[in-house]
Structure 1
C-alpha cells in the first residue's frame, strides 16, 4: 500500500537539475494524494517557466513507477516571492563564509583555481580552457569555467551553450555543458553587444560571478582571463591569491616574447605557474608529416625564461564537424592531448 512516506522517500533522490539538491529537501513536493496505485501531487518549481520542468517531471514519474504507481498526475506551480527569497538566503549561506567572502575562496575550500592567460589574443587561450575543463570533467572532477574575458567573451559560443543562467532573485544558477558549469558575460550581453566598462565595473562583475553564482561543490574552477596584464588580471590576482596559472602561447617568437609579460605578472603576484601550453605547434598532414607553420621553440624559450616547463603542445585542428563546438571528442587526436594534460595535473595534485 502506497503512503505519503513511500512517495517522499522515493522522490528524495530526485534532484533539481540546476541546484543539484533533493526536490524533497527543497520542499518542492506538496499536496500528495493517493488512491490505491494512483498518485497525484503538486511540484513547486523555483521559478515560473523553469527550463528543466520536463526533466523534473520525467524523473518524478520514473521514480514513482518504481514503487508501484500506475496512474500519475502532476501539477506544476512556482514558489512565492517569499519562498524564493528564503531559498536565495539559504544558497548564499552555503556559498558565503564569515565576512561575506565566497566560501570557495577560502584556502581550505578544496577548490583548485587555474587561471588560463596569455600575452596577446588569438593564441587559443579559450580553446585550451574549455578542452582542459572537459578533460577534467571526463576524469570525474567537478569543474566550472568562469569566462573572465569581459570584453572578449567567447566561451558560450565555443561550447554551443544557448541556455541562459537561471536567476533565483540575485543568485545565478550556471548552465551546464559537457559536465561543466559555465558563467560568462556572454549570457548577459544580448545580440553580442559590446561591453564598454572601466576598472571598477570589471571588478564588480568578476566579484558577482564568484559570489552571486551558485557554483555548488567544485574541484576545479578554470578562469579564462583576458590577454595581457590589465585590470581583470590584477583583480583576479587580488581576489584569488591561491590561483595557479597556465600560460598559452604559440611557437612564434613574438607571441612567446609578449606572453613573458603575463608570466612576469604571475610571478609578481606569487601565483604558481603550472606551465606553458604551446598552441598551434604544428600541422600534421595526411601522411603524418609535421609542418611547423609558426616556427619552433617559442614555448621552450618562454618556459626557460619563466623557469617552468612546457606541459603540452597542441597541434592545429578544426572544430568538431557537424557541431560547431570547440570541445574536441575524447578519442580525437586533440582530445587525447588534453586528456593527458588533465591526468598529469590531477596526478601532480595541481
Structure 2
C-alpha cells in the first residue's frame, strides 16, 4: 500500500484538527464566511524551483513511457508465446498490469503539474486516484507473496509442484488478491471521503495519497488514520512474513543439496522474483525504520523516496524478466535469429 507506511512517524502530528463542518464547508477568518472545497491542488515538491519544472516533467514522461512500454511488452510477449503461459509468467503479467494502472493513474497528472502548471484535481478524482494508488500497492504485495509461494513449492516440495501450482490455481489466487485489495481500499477510501475538508486544499505530493489527504481534513481524523495504518501493516507485513518464512525454507532446502552447481542452479530460479521482492520491500522497510528511529527527512526528500520505491520497481521489472529469466531470454534470442534470417533473405 503506497505511502501508508509513513503513518507511524506522522501520526502524532495529525491530531490537532479542531474545526468541524458539514458538506466540506469550513469557517475562514470568521464564523460567517464559509467556503466549500471542491478541488485540491497537487503542489508536488514544495522546494522545487520553477526552472526545474520542465526537466522534472520530462523525467516523469520518460519514466511513464518506460513503465507502460516495458510492462506492456511483457503482457504482449507472454500472451503471444504459449510456452511462456505458465504460473510464474502469469504472476509477472498480473504485476505488469498493476504497474501500468498505477503509472497511468499518477504520472500523467504529475507531468501536467510541471509541464502545464496544472495543479488542480477535482474532489472526486483525487479520491479515485487515492483508491487506485493504494489498491495497486496492496495487490503488488499479495502478488509477491504468491510468487514466494510458487518458489517455495517448486523447491521445497517439487514432486507436488505441478499438482498444486497450476495456471488455474494462480489465476484464482490473483483474483482473490484483487478482491481483497479493492475491498479493503473501498472501505478505507470511503472513511476518508466521509471527512470534512476545509483547513487547506493543498496536497504536498505528486498524487493524492491517504495520509496527506486526511491530514488536511477539518475533522478529528485519528480513527481514520489508525484504520488505514492497520490496513497498511496487514497488507505489507503479513505477506512479508510469509515471504521471509518461504525464503528461509528455500535456503535451508538449497543448502541440503550436496552439489555446489546444483545449489546455484536451484537458487538461480528464485533470483528474478527475489530481486523484485527486494525492490518492493527494502525501501519501504527503510522508510518505516528511519521514521521510527527518529531519522527525519525534508519534505522534498520524503517525496523523492516515496516516488523512488513507487516508480523504480515498475520501471525495471521488465528488464529483470528479460535478462534474469532463461526462458524469456531463449525466446527473445530465437525471435531475433528469425528476424535476422528474414532480413538476410
TM-score, scaled to structure 1: 0.24
TM-score, scaled to structure 2: 0.24
Higher helix share: 2
Higher strand share: 1
